[in-house]
Structure 1
Amino acid sequence: MSPSAPLWLARPSRYAGLPSLRARWLLAALAVLLLASLTSLATPGPPPVSGDPAARGEDRADEILYETIVEGVRHGGNYYLVAADALRTGGYPMRPFVTFRLPTLATVQAGMSPVAAALLLYALAVGTLFAWYVRLGGVFQRATIHLIAVGLAAAGMASAVQVELVAFHEIWAGLLIALSLAARRPGRWQTAVALGLAAMLIRETAALYVGIMAVLAFVEGERREAFGWVAATAVFAVAVLLHAQAVADVVRPLDQASPGWAGMLGVGFAIKALTLTTALALAPPALAALLAGLAIVGWSAWRDPLAVRAFATLCAYVALIALFGRTDTFYWALLVAPLVPLGLVFAVDGVRDLIRAALDRRRITVTRTAR
């Protein structure tokens, strides 16, 4: 069938004009995803914040841990000794070495005042938002839709405006990943690679994003870009090796080991994590879960190489959280939170086109005429 005129997008979505059979299979997959998203309502989540001043230490245990480490380094302490003392005092696991964050963020923040660190985070969030404003120019039919898209992107960065989370590594890495994606264009990948490397040096799990970018660059024949991502990964690998050795020097035999990360909590937990780390948390839980599922699908509908990268990144992190996340590591979703609500702006055309193609029942009739 011929594609219908776009609703919000300037060009037809990826699902416009699909054969009806393929559209029905994809629509069935969408229904399964939305049903899986609703399982988040029955999935265990992190313990709620009590709001009781007396329980501040429990409510903000991780934030206080990172703030303590930054303060210790700011006053001249060695990062690894300070981190080991803070983890040991807080009863945190110290083995394997990945229980220690890389020293990058703490070292940078220790070199400035807390106010300057907060301003730097806000500047990164505003810069990321502006980069997406520029990148989405010409994608939509009307300026109002463009502004809606920017508003949705801001909704994904809601955690970045919470000053108490300034020392949280995933927030910084997530913003850098989003900025890296916005900066990447065919033939112009150097800035994107540098930002991806910065994200990895702040939070190791950002390496999943860099790996996806490298694979897709190879698939698209962008060999120089692919080698750029591989080179960034090599630099990161060296940093991790040095980090592991430094951690080994401060860990004692009786220090606590991690219980592991094979949470196997499923897609519902991953969707819940995405909603809790964005402004979707303000919506009723069922609606928030459905919107998160639609947002992921929305990225698949935009007919642009950037959308393929964003969609693959979201799917990879959903799988990571579903398989390995625990209820106390829901904040891994912050690594992709800036991308989540933005996908809704592409879902409008995508879902409409998918439904229209699936419902198309026209048949081609061949007739023979006598001459």
Structure 2
Amino acid sequence: MTDPAWPGRTVSRALLAGLCALILWGVWTAASGGTAGPGVKAFGDVDLYREIAQRVAAGSDYYAAAIASQLAHGYPTTPFLAVRLPTLTSLHLALGETGATVLLVALGVAGVLAMAVRLDRDGRGRAERIAAVVLLGLGVALLAVGPVAWFHEAWAGVLVLLAIAVHSPRRWWPSVLLALVAVCFRELALPYLVVMAVLAWPQRRREAWAWLAAIGVFAAVLAAHALAVQAAQPPTPVASNGWVEFGGWSFVLACVRTGSLLSALPLAVAAVVVPLALFGWCFAGPLARPVVATCVLLAGALMVVGRPDNTYWGLLFSTVLLAGLAFAPRGLVVSARAAFSRSAG
């Protein structure tokens, strides 16, 4: 996945068949009613995060505050992943809600600009660069909506975008640090670190060790978090019902819709757009492997894990994924030529 002319006949046909299959699956899902979006709660997640921050600001320990608030409003407190890492609460207390939103949007804009530079460096055409920047900009615009700054996935997503954009085989450490901060906001960003470690291992062993070290540091952070959550538990903790739901491709589409401006459009639109975007990234040059591998890993996980009210998880990767639409037209032309050409290998 390193050059727009790479596919042979077999690979091109497989890509086109996969694209058609995902579109048909999504359209069938949309026609049959699809995955219901999260219902409106009288007291939702943003309200919970705000209340926890208020308790901490009043002098309470973060973990005591989180457990108390979650118990008071019917949220589970175990397993430990039911309680978020304190990163976002600390940030909001330091900057305030407005300051946090400004910083989130600034990071998003930085990610868009860095991606424009990256695409130019990778030799992508001017039209594709402009289209990708516009699509990324539309995704970043969603970050300006006040409550979005309270979602841990939004912060992790924008940091992963920036990490992807600034990565270079010769200067990889900023990407490693950004990705490490991303998982400290939300552990769901971990697949990106794993992908980068695997991709670097064959030829860039020093970089691969850096990614593995970042994973190790995060594992230590998560272990400390687990111990702190356990220490703050009441005598009778409230257990989660679990997240294994097997929502399938329809849940992936619902997540992407919730995490993007596609939420204003019918599910049938997402059923076509999302596969095209993933397909398009296959033709994005050096960015193809890390972006496609990360999105495929996340999509595969979401097909198994995630309740209907967890569609906001799409904030983690929707902006990056949908930018792949910029490369889809050329990808379709290249693949069609290779798939139906008698001379194709």
TM class by shorter chain equals over 0.9
1:37–1:268 Cα contact (<8 Å) kept = yes
Letter in 2 for 1:69: I
CA deviation after TM superposition for structure 1 residue 326, in Å: 1.1
1:62 counterpart = 2:45: yes
For structure 1, list consecutive stretches of 5 or more residues without a partner in the other structure: 1-11, 50-57, 365-371
The SS at the match of 1:113 is helix
Distance 1:14 1:29 in 2: 20
- Out of 325, 328, 331, the position equivalent to 1:347 is 328
The SS at the match of 1:323 is coil
| Structure 2 length-normalised TM | 0.93
CA deviation after TM superposition for structure 1 residue 357, in Å: 1.5
1:43 counterpart = 2:27: no
Q: Which residue of structure 2 lines up, in the alignment, with residue 52 of structure 1?
A: none
145-154 or 62-71, which moves further after superposition? 145-154
Deviation per CA, 1:283-326, whole angstroms, max 9, x where unpaired?
A: 3321222111100111112221x221011011011111111111
CA deviation after TM superposition for structure 1 residue 39, in Å: 4.0
Superposed CA RMSD: 2.1
Distance 2:14 2:103 in 1: 46
Q: Which residue of structure 2 lines up, in the alignment, with residue 141 of structure 1?
A: 125
Within 5 Å, which residues of 2 pair with 1:11-30?
14=3, 16=5, 18-30=7-19
Letter in 1 for 2:125: Q
For structure 2, list consecutive stretches of 5 or more residues without a partner in the other structure: none
CA deviation after TM superposition for structure 1 residue 132, in Å: 1.2
Does the C-alpha gap of structure 1 residues 192 and 39 become closer, same or farther in structure 2, counting only changes over 3 Å? Answer: farther
Deviation per CA, 1:12-71, whole angstroms, max 9, x where unpaired?
A: 98463643344223321221122223244133222355xxxxxxxx16601111111122
The SS at the match of 2:120 is coil
CA deviation after TM superposition for structure 1 residue 155, in Å: 2.3
1:102–1:201 Cα contact (<8 Å) kept = yes
Distance 1:211 1:13 in 2: 20
The SS at the match of 1:333 is helix
- Out of 206, 230, 247, the position equivalent to 2:229 is 247
The SS at the match of 2:323 is helix
| Greater helix fraction, Structure 1 or Structure 2 | 2
Percent identity, aligned pairs only, is: 35
2:109–2:140 Cα contact (<8 Å) kept = no
The SS at the match of 1:76 is coil
The SS at the match of 1:188 is coil
Does the C-alpha gap of structure 1 residues 60 and 352 become closer, same or farther in structure 2, counting only changes over 3 Å? Answer: farther
Distance 1:13 1:232 in 2: 26
CA deviation after TM superposition for structure 1 residue 159, in Å: 3.1
Distance 1:66 1:156 in 2: 23
Q: Which residue of structure 1 lines up, in the alignment, with residue 150 of structure 2?
A: 167
2:280–2:327 Cα contact (<8 Å) kept = yes
- Out of 209, 226, 231, the position equivalent to 1:227 is 209
Does the C-alpha gap of structure 1 residues 39 and 257 become closer, same or farther in structure 2, counting only changes over 3 Å? Answer: farther
- Out of 181, 187, 196, the position equivalent to 2:164 is 181
Deviation per CA, 1:142-187, whole angstroms, max 9, x where unpaired?
A: 3x54222211012233431111221110100110011111111112
The SS at the match of 2:214 is helix
| Structure 1 length-normalised TM | 0.87
CA deviation after TM superposition for structure 1 residue 105, in Å: 1.4
Q: Which residue of structure 2 lines up, in the alignment, with residue 191 of structure 1?
A: 174
Does the C-alpha gap of structure 1 residues 197 and 363 become closer, same or farther in structure 2, counting only changes over 3 Å? Answer: closer
The SS at the match of 1:324 is coil
Distance 2:54 2:308 in 1: 28
Letter in 2 for 1:97: F
Letter in 2 for 1:214: A
2:183–2:190 Cα contact (<8 Å) kept = yes
Q: Which residue of structure 2 lines up, in the alignment, with residue 263 of structure 1?
A: 245
Q: Which residue of structure 2 lines up, in the alignment, with residue 309 of structure 1?
A: 290
Does the C-alpha gap of structure 1 residues 73 and 241 become closer, same or farther in structure 2, counting only changes over 3 Å? Answer: same
Within 5 Å, which residues of 2 pair with 1:89-238?
89-137=72-120, 139-142=123-126, 144-219=127-202, 221-238=203-220
CA deviation after TM superposition for structure 1 residue 336, in Å: 0.8
Aligned residues: 342
295-304 or 130-139, which moves further after superposition? 130-139
2:35–2:250 Cα contact (<8 Å) kept = no
Letter in 2 for 1:23: S
Q: Which residue of structure 2 lines up, in the alignment, with residue 33 of structure 1?
A: 22
Kindly name which structure, 1 or 2, has the bigger radius of gyration based on alpha carbons. 1
Distance 1:194 1:363 in 2: 43
CA deviation after TM superposition for structure 1 residue 118, in Å: 1.7
Distance 1:247 1:63 in 2: 20
Letter in 2 for 1:294: L
